Every structure is written in structure tokens, then in C-alpha cells.
């Protein structure tokens, strides 16, 4: 091949072929993205087309009903808010404290490895398994009320906590050691350094992770099916112990209705849920962009 003639027709034909393959490959990649995003567009367009007409004041303030024209989404929304409240109150402090311990204080020991492995695995356990746990422990063993926001919130908190721990650890890890050393240098103790200096700097990252975890919990249906939150509830819940529904569950229940009029309700409820989720994700992105410090 030492005296290869670069101008011979066979070589230039080969080059043309290779460049065509290059272009083809690039277009396939581009096509993959367009196809994936067009699924997203199709989904959103169909939901908007079906549901937008059903979004009115009565729909947003009413509770569930067997009559599609008076059924509303407020009962489920209130249930979702109560459930999310329980989840946040439990999983946020526990998750942040666990992240602090594992990142700043944990000794290098065998059992710490077990804690880390179990947190990483919990983050990947199918959500329905958490529902089975909630059913077996909270309802059958501890006798808590079925279908209540309390049990739903507890179950989702167990699911959300690992997500918060993992994002919290990453945020704490990103705080440079020089901050800690400066605090030690002026005489702060380890606990003071962590709570007065490291934690405030890591907080935006932790909050971003928390919001993303909460958004996931808000859209979750399967574990709540397990603990019986699928009953027909015609009045908004008035406490943590009263039977209630949540937004995704309302969508699921309405999607099962035979009456065609419920298609509009289902789609409208999906729009409400997606608006909540997009707002939460938007806040998370805003927090990340605004407070993220590049060290």
C-alpha cells in the first residue's frame, strides 16, 4: 500500500462511500432524537386536545363524582398535598441528616458500607415493592387507617428518602475541603463546621434533589394502589387519617370509567398533574442555575 494512488477512481469511490456512511449515521442519530421528542409532543398534544376544554373553575374546585360533568379534581389535589406534606416532613430531615452523617462523620467501617449499599439499592427498588412494605407494616402490623394520606405519605417517604440522601451526598461532596479547613482554622468544631458552613453551601443542591424526589413521589401511583388509596372518595379529605385519593390515582380511576365523558376529565386531570410537575422541575432548575457555585 506504500504507493497508493490517492487519485485513482477506486480510492475516491471508497471515500465517497465512507462520507455517505458518515452522513447517514449522523442523520440516524438526529432521527432518533426527533422520534423520541415527537413521542413527547404527541403525548402532550393529545392530552391538551382532550382535556383543555374540561379545565374550568368547577373542575378545579369539585371533588370526585359518578357524574362526569360535576366531577372535579380538588379532592384528589388536597389528598396529594396532604400526602406530600407527610412525605416531605419525614424524608427531608431524615435524608439530609443521613447524607451529612455518611459524607462527613461516618467511620470507614464495614457496616457503613452496608448502609451505603442499602441506600443505593433502595433508590432502585421498584416502587410497587414499597407499596407491599406499606401494606404489610403500616396497615397490617401497625393498624394504621387504610387509604389515608398518613400511610401514603409514610410509604412515599421511604421511597423518596434514598433519592434525597444520594443528591444530598453529592451536594455535600461538592463543597471544597478548603471551606472546612478555614472553619477548623478559626477554631470551629466538626459539628459547627458542618452545620454552619458546609450545610448552607450544599443546601441549594440538596433542595434541587429534594424537589426532584418529591416530583417523582407526586406522580407515583403503584405503591398507593397497594395501600388502598383507590376508593371512590366524594368529599375532600379533612385530615391525615381520613380516606383520600391523590391526583395520579384519580387519573387512574377515571381512566377505568366506561362513560366517554370521563376521557375529558382524565385528560384535564393529567394536565393539572403535569402543570404541578413541570412547576416543581422548573423551580429545581432555577435553584440549580441561580445558586450553583462553581468552585
Partner 1 sequence: MILTAVLLAVIGLGLVGWFAARGRARLLYSGRGSMHSMPSYHAWHVALWILVPALLVWGLWQAVMPGLVEGAVFASPAAAHLPTDPFQLGAIVSEARNLAADPSAASFNPEAEALVEPFRAAQTRFGLMGAALVLVVAFAGGAFAFTRVKARFRARTQVERAVLALLLIASLSAVLTTFGIVASLVFEAGLFFKDVSPIAFLTGTHWSPASTAGDNISNNFGAVPLFWGTIYIGAIIAMVVAIPLGLMSAIYLTQYATRDVRKWVKPLLEILAGIPTVVYGYFAALTVAPVIRDFAASVGMPNPSTESALAAGLVMGVMIIPFVSSMADDALAAVPRAMSDGSLALGATRSETIKRVLLPAALPGIVAGVMLAISRAIGETMIVVMAAGAAANLSANPFASMTTVTYQIVQMLTGDQEFNSPKTLSAFALGLVLFIVTLILNIVALRVVKRFREAYE
Residues 155-184 that bind partner 1 (CB under 8 A): 158, 161-162, 165
CB 259, min distance to partner 1, A: 14
Cβ closer to partner 1: 28 or 57?
28
Q: Tell which phi-psi region holds residue 62, choosing left (phi > 0), alpha (psi between -120 and 50) or beta.
A: beta
Given 12, 61, 69, 120, the residue binding partner 1 (CB under 8 A): 120
Q: Which of residues 5-24 bind partner 1 (CB under 8 A)?
A: 18-19, 21-22, 24
Number of residues located near partner 1, criterion CB under 8 A: 85
Choices 69-77, 110-118, 144-152, 203-211 (CB under 8 A): range interacting with partner 1:
110-118
117-120 long-range Cβ contacts below 8 angstroms, 24+ apart: 119/162, 119/165, 119/166, 120/162, 120/166
Q: Which of residues 182-221 bind partner 1 (CB under 8 A)?
A: 189-191, 195, 215-216, 218-221
Angstrom CA distances, 87 to 56, 170, 215, 257, 288, stand at 29, 21, 11, 30, 22
Provide the grid cell at 191: 459539628
Q: Are 197 and 232 in contact (CB under 8 A)?
A: no
CB 84, min distance to partner 1, A: 14
Cβ closer to partner 1: 150 or 253?
253
Cβ closer to partner 1: 179 or 225?
225
Cβ closer to partner 1: 167 or 266?
266
Choices 5-13, 70-78, 125-133, 237-245 (CB under 8 A): range interacting with partner 1:
125-133
Cβ closer to partner 1: 22 or 292?
22
Q: Which of residues 228-287 bind partner 1 (CB under 8 A)?
A: 228, 230, 248-249, 251-252, 255, 263, 266, 270, 273-274, 277-278, 281, 285
Which of 252, 238, 223, 219 lies closest to 151, judged by CA?
A: 223
Provide the grid cell at 56: 374550568
Instruction: Establish how many alpha carbons lie within 13 A of residue 55's alpha carbon, considering only the half-sphere containing its beta carbon.
Output: 14
Q: Which of residues 43-102 bind partner 1 (CB under 8 A)?
A: 43, 46-47, 93-95, 97-98, 100-102
CB 58, min distance to partner 1, A: 22
Q: 117-126 burial by CB neighbour count: b if 16+ within 10 A, else e?
A: eebeebbeee
Does 137 contact partner 1 by CB under 8 A? yes
CB 69, min distance to partner 1, A: 20
Provide the grid cell at 207: 433542595
Give the Cα separation of 134 and 129 in Å (integer). 9
CB 119, min distance to partner 1, A: 5
Given 33, 109, 186, 258, the residue binding partner 1 (CB under 8 A): 33
Lookup result for grid cell 371512590: 232
Give the Cα separation of 41 and 154 in Å (integer). 35
Count of beta carbons in the 10 Å neighbourhood of residue 292: 12
Q: Are 163 and 123 in contact (CB under 8 A)?
A: yes
Amino acid at each position: 500500500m506504500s504507493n497508493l494512488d490517492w487519485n485513482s477512481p477506486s480510492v475516491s469511490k471508497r471515500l465517497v462511500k465512507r462520507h455517505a456512511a458518515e452522513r447517514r449515521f449522523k442523520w440516524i442519530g438526529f432521527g432518533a432524537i426527533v422520534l423520541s421528542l415527537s413521542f413527547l409532543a404527541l403525548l402532550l398534544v393529545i392530552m391538551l386536545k382532550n382535556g383543555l376544554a374540561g379545565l374550568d373553575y368547577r373542575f378545579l374546585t369539585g371533588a370526585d363524582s359518578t357524574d362526569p360533568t360535576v366531577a372535579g379534581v380538588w379532592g384528589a389535589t388536597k389528598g396529594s398535598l396532604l400526602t406530600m406534606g407527610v412525605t416531605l416532613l419525614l424524608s427531608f430531615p431524615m435524608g439530609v441528616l443521613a447524607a451529612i452523617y455518611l459524607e462527613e462523620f461516618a467511620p470507614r467501617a464495614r457496616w457503613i458500607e452496608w448502609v451505603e449499599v442499602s441506600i443505593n439499592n433502595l433508590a432502585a427498588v421498584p416502587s410497587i415493592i414499597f407499596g407491599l412494605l406499606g401494606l404489610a407494616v403500616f396497615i397490617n402490623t401497625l393498624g394504621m387507617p387504610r387509604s389515608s394520606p398518613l400511610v401514603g405519605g409514610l410509604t412515599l417517604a421511604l421511597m423518596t428518602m434514598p433519592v434525597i440522601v444520594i443528591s444530598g451526598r453529592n451536594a455535600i461532596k461538592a463543597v471544597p475541603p478548603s471551606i472546612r479547613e478555614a472553619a477548623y482554622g478559626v477554631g470551629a468544631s466538626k459539628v459547627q463546621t458542618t452545620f454552619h458552613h458546609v450545610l448552607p453551601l450544599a443546601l441549594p443542591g440538596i433542595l434541587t434533589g429534594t424537589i426532584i424526589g418529591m416530583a417523582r413521589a407526586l406522580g407515583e401511583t403503584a405503591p398507593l394502589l397497594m395501600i388502598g388509596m383507590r376508593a371512590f372518595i366524594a368529599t375532600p379529605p379533612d385530615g391525615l387519617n381520613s380516606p383520600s385519593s391523590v391526583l395520579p390515582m384519580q387519573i387512574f380511576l377515571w381512566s377505568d370509567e366506561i362513560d366517554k365523558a370521563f376521557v375529558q376529565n382524565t385528560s384535564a386531570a393529567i394536565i393539572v398533574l403535569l402543570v404541578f410537575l413541570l412547576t416543581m422541575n422548573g423551580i429545581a432548575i432555577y435553584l440549580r442555575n441561580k445558586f450553583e457555585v462553581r468552585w
